Amino acid sequence: MPATVVVGTQWGDEGKGKLTDLIAKEMAMVVRYQGGHNAGHTLVVDGESFALQLVPSGVLYDHIVPVIGNGVVVDPFVLLAEIDTLESKGVDCSRLRVSGNAHLILPYHQELDMLTERYLGKNKLGTTKRGIGPTYADKAMRVGIRVQDLLDEKIFRAKLDAVLGDKNTVLTRVYNRLPTDPDELADRVMAEVVPRLRPHVADSVGLVHDALDAGENVLFEGAQATFLDLDHGTYPFVTSSNPVAGGACTGAGIGPRHIQRVVGIAKAYITRVGAGPFPTELFDADGDALVDRGHEFGTNTGRRRRPGWFDAVMMRQAVRLNSLSEVAITKLDILDTFDTLKVCVAYDVNGERHEHLPYHQSDLHSAKPIYEELPGWQSDLTAVRERSELPTPAVRYLEFLEGQIGAPISLVGVGPGREQFVNFSG
Ligand code: GDP
Ligand code: IMO
Ligand code: MG
């Protein structure tokens, strides 16, 4: 039965958390399929803010089973701390299930992430330093340690011993750091993690298919975004997983025929954290206004996000890469004060017009945006709930985006609160 995927269509922080929470109301299960605690998904419910990193965004509903899929990389210490924070706010996390096949982020992964970035110097990627890259690298190298390994102390200790032989050589000889003591780390994991995590560990693929077979709606929540995708993003300025909708298949264990609806989330403008090409980036007062009005600072890392105008060229690529059936536009209210708004409709690459994303990264670096300018509305949208209440220039802006993207806009965000949205399709 129906599977829905929520996917970021830009460079992250589009408001996936808010939209997932919104759509999750009609779902029985919400499954995260990739990434780790590099994600920061914010939900605002009744004025209270929840910043989720690993726990799926459906957790606030009592009827939902939140599942961390096999494609996710899990720092068990962070996960338990997140559960504690949620429970201190009255959120019941007992239904949370974690795939036994998910890989573990352990302290040496974070240390290596930090050291690699330091070593790269001015060429650094600007990672979140959460150990994401090193953990997925271990998975691909087949030396990773999985959540299921926690359930057998002998296996866990043996795997940790083996992998730390190699990691400690790198840590001590390449980076001149202290080695990680395998016994100390294993003792800590066995004492602090295993007793608490054990009840949550599950066969996530079985759970997802039982729900689908029973005719229940299952939502797959992507983290990061299309242009941070390891294969399709602006490599090497990407994350180490596959946030695109297809990632839901591998990261949760379903075939593509289950997916009936793919909701692409896009801000009404665009932001990016960390390094990498960004054709519509703004370095002027408009950019500062987007950052100030949009509070564009990382949910977890606090870093200033780089702002830019909406890029329809990227969105057309996102439609292709994800088979988007609809688009939700978020943060339209942030544009409330602008006299005019720009939308990038094509790129000029060495005098040639490109309506679709050039495949060569050098072309993307040198691409100059070709803009169309539209009038702003200069009124406060945060209390708008119906399409008919939107000022005409706002409707025109959204219709213009729809035409440029080539996919219908379903929902439009006009504020961070769960209730602050407009159903644009009807
Ligand atoms: P995610 O990583 O895609 O889940 O997005 P983040 O939570 O990192 O960043 C989005 C930010 O915008 C959060 O602070 C949200 O509360 C906020 N937000 C989401 N939708 C809207 C919206 O429509 N309007 C406004 N003003 N804020 C929004
Ligand atoms: P959500 O789910 C925005 C970026 C980092 C860096 C690159 C690689 O909240 O949208 P990594 O730590 O993954 O190896 O960093 O990816 N990045 C994000 N940017 N939102 C995110 O998640 C991100 N997760 C990673 O800034 O440029
Ligand atoms: Mg975020």
pLDDT, tens digit (0-9, with 9 covering 90-100), for 137-155: 999 999 999 999 999 999 9
Measured distance CA(342)–CA(371) in Å, rounded: 6
Measured distance CA(158)–CA(165) in Å, rounded: 11
Give me the mean pLDDT over the 332-346 stretch: 98
- The DSSP letter of residue 179 is P
Q: Given the residues 13, 75, 113, 229, select the one marked as catalytic.
A: 13
What does the DSSP assignment read for 226-265? Answer: GGG-TTTSSTTSS-SS--STTHHHHHHT--GGGEEEEEEE
* Whether residue 187 lies in the annotated active site: no
The pairing of beta strand 259-267 with beta strand 3-8: parallel
pLDDT value of position 301: 78
- Find residue 50's DSSP bridge partners: 43
User: In angstroms, what is the C-alpha Rg of the chain?
Assistant: 22
Q: How far is the centre of ligand 1, averaged over its atoms, from the C-alpha of 425 (Å)?
A: 21
* Atom of ligand 1 minimally distant from the CA of 41: 4
pLDDT value of position 385: 98
Q: How far is the centre of ligand 2, averaged over its atoms, from the C-alpha of 240 (Å)?
A: 10
Q: Mean pLDDT in the chain?
A: 97
Whether pLDDT at 1 is above 60: no
Torsion of CA 296, 416, 29, 245, to 10 degrees: -40
Q: Given the residues 21, 37, 41, 311, select the one marked as catalytic.
A: 41
Q: Which ligand is nearest to the CA of 42?
A: 1
Give me the mean pLDDT over the 25-45 stretch: 96
Please list, residue by residue across 248-265, b when 16 or more beta carbons sit within 10 angstroms of its beta carbon and e when fewer do: bbebbbbeeebbebbbbb
* Atom of ligand 1 minimally distant from the CA of 49: 16
Q: Is 35 in the pocket of ligand 1 (CB under 6 A)?
A: no
